[in-house]
């Protein structure tokens, strides 16, 4: 692929992501002209590339403005349903937004956000395995989304997957050592696995004001 083509693809990918950000944050309608058909298409083809190759790149890289607007609208309504406690409806709208965005390469930070919020809705519905699945998909799209480690750690603990809960807590604590919830989850998981080293983590969490850790230690007659 020529240098000009690579620059055009990257530039148009940024344009698509920027457009989605504008729609999500400001709720603006989709322009009827400038982005009417698609947001990106590669620059003129290199002579060595076949028409078939060019068509594949078009299908892989083009962003349809109507799709982007529909995904943003579905996501925003999903957020409203979530805030209203209507989690089933929130899941449906998040799913619509995800299905649209997954047609396209890129936009991974938005996909990660959408999967995270659908996972949170599943969490509220008590559908913990589906929540875990979505937090995992969030991290696959956006590895820096550390809140997904937090929520997946809690869900795994509730599912009695203590080793997985500890692994998620460790991943979270690599980036943020000031979060008592993760020390509490890691400590409780260790204790449930028969490892009294978990008391150390519970003491850390309790010292940071985590009530569950404080209650657990108090019931065991342990000072922190």
Q: What is the pLDDT of residues 197-215, one digit of tens each?
A: 999 999 999 999 999 999 9
Q: 96 near 67, Cβ under 8 Å? A: no
Q: What is the mean pLDDT of the chain?
A: 81
Q: What is the pTM of this model?
A: 0.75
More confident residue, 33 or 3: 3
41, pLDDT greater than 50: no
Q: Of 224, 166, 169, 156, nearest to 193 (Cα)? A: 166
What number of other Cβ atoms are within 10 A of residue 34's Cβ?
9
d(CA 129, CA 29): 36
Q: 114 near 132, Cβ under 8 Å? A: no
Three-state DSSP at 26 gives helix
Structure confidence at residue 50 as a pLDDT band (50, 70, 90): very low
What angle in degrees, to the nearest 10, is found between the helix axes of 147-158 and 162-175?
A: 160
* CATH superfamily of this structure's domain 147-224: Tetratricopeptide repeat domain (1.25.40.10)
């Amino acid at each position: 692929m020529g240098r000009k083509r690579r620059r055009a693809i990257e530039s148009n990918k940024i344009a698509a992501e920027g457009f989605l950000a504008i729609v999500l944050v400001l709720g603006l309608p989709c322009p009827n002209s400038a982005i009417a058909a698609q947001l990106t298409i590669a620059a003129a083809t290199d002579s060595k590339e076949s028409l078939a190759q060019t068509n594949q790149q078009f299908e892989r890289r083009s962003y349809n403005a109507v799709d982007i607007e529909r995904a943003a609208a579905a996501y925003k309504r999903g957020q409203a349903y979530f805030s209203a406690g209507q989690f089933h409806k929130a899941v449906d709208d998040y799913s619509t937004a995800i299905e649209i965005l997954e047609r396209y390469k890129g936009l991974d930070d938005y996909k990660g956000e959408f999967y995270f919020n659908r996972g949170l809705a599943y969490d509220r519905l008590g559908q913990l395995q589906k929540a875990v699945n979505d937090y995992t998909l969030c991290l696959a799209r956006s590895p820096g989304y550390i809140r997904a480690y937090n929520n997946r750690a809690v869900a795994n603990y509730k599912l009695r997957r203590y080793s997985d809960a500890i692994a998620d807590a460790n991943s979270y604590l690599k980036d943020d050592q000031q979060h008592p919830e993760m020390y509490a989850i890691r400590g409780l998981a260790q204790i449930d696995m028969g490892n009294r080293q978990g008391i150390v983590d519970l003491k850390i969490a309790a010292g940071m004001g985590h009530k569950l850790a404080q209650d657990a230690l108090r019931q065991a007659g342990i000072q922190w």
